[in-house]
Amino acid sequence: MTQTPPSQPDQLPKDAVPPSATRWIIPGGLLIVLLVAVLTTVSLWEARQNALGNEQRQIGDLVLITSQDIQRHYELYDLLLREAAAQIVDLPPSRGTGAPANIIRRTMDASRIPAEMILISESGKLVASSRHPTNGEQAADRDYFIIQRDQPATGLYLSRPFRNRLDQEPCVALSRRLTDSHGNFAGVLAILVPLQSVREMFASLTRHRSDAISLIRLDGTILVRQPDLGSFGGFGLNVFGRPNFQRMTTTPQGSFTSTSEIDRVKRYYVFSRVGDLPLIVVVGVGMDAVTAPWQAQWLAGAATSVVLCLLILGAAVALRREMLRRFEIEQEFLRLSQTDSLTGLPNRRHFDEFGQREWQRAARQRSSIAVLMVDIDHFKQVNDRIGHPGGDRVLREVSDIIRASLHRPGDFAGRYGGEEFAIILPETDAPAAAHVAERIRAAIEANTAEGVAPVTVSIGLAAGLAAPKGTLAEMMIAADHALYRAKETGRNRVVSSHVARNDNLRPLAC
């Protein structure tokens, strides 16, 4: 029996109200204006301190946003490497070098990122590039090749900076080791990331001439600095032994005020590690740029109250505008972090968060809950028939059908990965869940893309009564097993799972 859940969960972030502080900035500025007449010196000092604090918070936000952006890019690069590597390893030796070249070219073309993917043989010879023709150039002396060859457990490796031998552009390489079917070293697949694109991004973030933004490896090698190093050391300067860098190696993130050992400018520095990567983002703002306007006003203590009031009101308006701008950016980042860009459905991270909350609610109320795992049948063949753009269209159409097939506000669907989708049906027993699953399966089968055979899906479902000590993981596993049985028994069908009885989950009759 299916019941209506007590509340409607948020599938995606909704419009949020700006921070209440934005309503009080202007009135607060007016209050300060009234006090300036008798407290000129104190107000100027407090204004200076507030300005410095705001600058520090803005720098902290800038470092956080920049490090997250770099991490997202490198996660994308790693995903591209994994996808291309999986396809290359599966190629038979008889296919020659043309097939790997086509794979890496298709992979990079589909990603539309300004980087180059290369394939290096086990002997260190450059076999293929997604951008440039190759003529057997040697790469055996590159650190990323040596590391991947000699240390099989390295995984994803970020190289030292170097100049690309094909176009002489400064870059770094993200690489992964290739192994053959016997586990032997079979070469290296790498993405060459041009450092110029990172420098251009840093240039757009600087506000003062004395600002400096750097991306540094944990071994002290500066990959990118804006402004560039120029006469202060050139390309790939290593600062490992310098005190300022040593302060950054003791903690994942922090801040300090110090004089630069490169250009001797005193700055306020904020730094942060970039996720699990061996990278540090450092933003430094010149103290003169931060304090110069307030020093001038401090020395001119006889400035009239009218001028000072105008300055305070202007600062209040600017601060309110900045807070609203940052609020809008944070809301957009939240939406992007929870949404699958191709289908518009919630992504796996959002699905997992919602699923855990819904499980806990169901456990408190001792109510039923059901999970559906939906997988497109023979999706690789669909891609082969109609190409990757057509495959993307199929994914969007299947997502639209799933979304349209869920009639209750509490039902939740997300893209779980690749061609697989997951659905949570609160307060739903096994027969009702099977009815929803069959409705989805039939609707997808009836929706045929123009000029191709019908697209079908296999669906595994699990339903039961939640208990407080349980988690959603057991039910997801049961639904996944049911999905495998649906695949093994002919596909294009719905299979229910009989969940084993334990303290955490009580099965419902299927």
Angle of helix 21-36 relative to helix 40-89, nearest 10 degrees, comes to 150
Which DSSP category does 508 fall into? -
- Specify the pLDDT at position 110: 86
CA dihedral 153, 158, 163, 169 (to 10 degrees): 130
Structure tokens at 464: 């039961």
Question: Which run of H or E residues covers position 375?
Answer: strand 368-376
H helices of 155-226, in order, are: 195-205
CB 9 within 8 A of CB 412: yes
d(CA 308, CA 44): 9
Over range 382-411, report the average pLDDT: 89
Residue bearing tokens 């520090």: 56
- Specify the pLDDT at position 377: 92
More confident residue, 53 or 372: 372
Q: Report percent pLDDT > 90 for the chain.
A: 27
- Indicate if the pLDDT at residue 466 is higher than 60: yes
Structure tokens at 426: 């609160």
More confident residue, 335 or 380: 380
Count other C-beta atoms under 10 Å from residue 455's C-beta. Answer: 24
d(CA 98, CA 497): 45
178 confidence band (pLDDT: 50, 70, 90) = very high
- Specify the pLDDT at position 36: 67
- Indicate if the pLDDT at residue 502 is higher than 70: no
Which one, of 421, 426, 420, 434, lies nearest residue 494 by Cα? 434
Residue bearing tokens 């719905």: 494
Per DSSP, the three-state class of 3 is coil
d(CA 231, CA 507): 71
Residue bearing tokens 């993917």: 117
Per DSSP, the three-state class of 447 is coil
Give CA separation, 402 vs 364, 421, 446, 457, 458, in Å. Answer: 28, 9, 13, 11, 13
- Specify the pLDDT at position 509: 37
More confident residue, 202 or 504: 202
503 confidence band (pLDDT: 50, 70, 90) = very low
- Specify the pLDDT at position 495: 95
Over range 33-42, report the average pLDDT: 69
Q: Is the four-CA dihedral 57, 64, 354, 342 of positive or negative sign?
A: positive
- Indicate if the pLDDT at residue 9 is higher than 70: no
Question: Which run of H or E residues covers position 129?
Answer: strand 126-129
Summarised one tens digit per residue, pLDDT across range 290-308 is: 776 666 666 666 566 667 6
Structural domains for the chain: 37-303 (3.30.450.20), 348-507 (3.30.70.270)
- Specify the pLDDT at position 94: 58
- Specify the pLDDT at position 133: 84
H helices of 90-154, in order, are: 98-111, 143-150
- Indicate if the pLDDT at residue 123 is higher than 70: yes
- Indicate if the pLDDT at residue 310 is higher than 60: yes
Amino acid at the residue 413: A
Q: Among 143-152, 180-189, 294-303, 387-396, whose mean pLDDT is lowest?
A: 294-303
Q: E-assigned strands of 138-221? A: 157-158, 162-163, 170-179, 185-194, 212-217
458 confidence band (pLDDT: 50, 70, 90) = very high
501 confidence band (pLDDT: 50, 70, 90) = very low
Q: Please, which residues bridge with residue 234 across strands?
A: none
d(CA 56, CA 64): 12
| pLDDT, mean over the chain | 82
d(CA 222, CA 237): 6
Indicate the burial class of 32 (C-beta count within 10 angstroms; 0-12, 13-18, 19 or more). buried
More confident residue, 478 or 306: 478
Residue 301 has phi, psi (to 5 degrees) of: -65, -15
Which one, of 46, 12, 52, 8, lies nearest residue 29 by Cα? 46
Q: Report percent pLDDT > 70 for the chain.
A: 83
Any residues with CB less than 8 A from the CB of 169 and at least 6 apart, and which? 163, 194, 195, 196
- Specify the pLDDT at position 98: 74
Over range 333-349, report the average pLDDT: 84
- Specify the pLDDT at position 231: 57
125 confidence band (pLDDT: 50, 70, 90) = very high
- Indicate if the pLDDT at residue 108 is higher than 80: yes
Over range 314-333, report the average pLDDT: 78
- Indicate if the pLDDT at residue 16 is higher than 70: no
- Indicate if the pLDDT at residue 233 is higher than 60: no
49 confidence band (pLDDT: 50, 70, 90) = confident
Over range 441-448, report the average pLDDT: 86
Backbone torsion region of residue 311, taken as left when φ is above 0, otherwise alpha when ψ lies between -120 and 50, otherwise beta: alpha
- Indicate if the pLDDT at residue 459 is higher than 80: yes
485 confidence band (pLDDT: 50, 70, 90) = very high
- Specify the pLDDT at position 211: 85
Tell me which long-range contacts 287-296 makes (C-beta under 8 A, separation of at least 24): 287/257, 288/210, 289/207, 289/208, 289/209, 289/210, 289/211, 290/51, 290/52, 290/55, 291/48, 291/52, 293/51, 294/44, 294/47, 294/48, 294/51
Over range 267-286, report the average pLDDT: 89
Residue 292: HSE in the Cβ half-sphere, 13 Å Cα cutoff: 7
- Specify the pLDDT at position 197: 83
CB 412 within 8 A of CB 422: no
- Indicate if the pLDDT at residue 449 is higher than 90: no
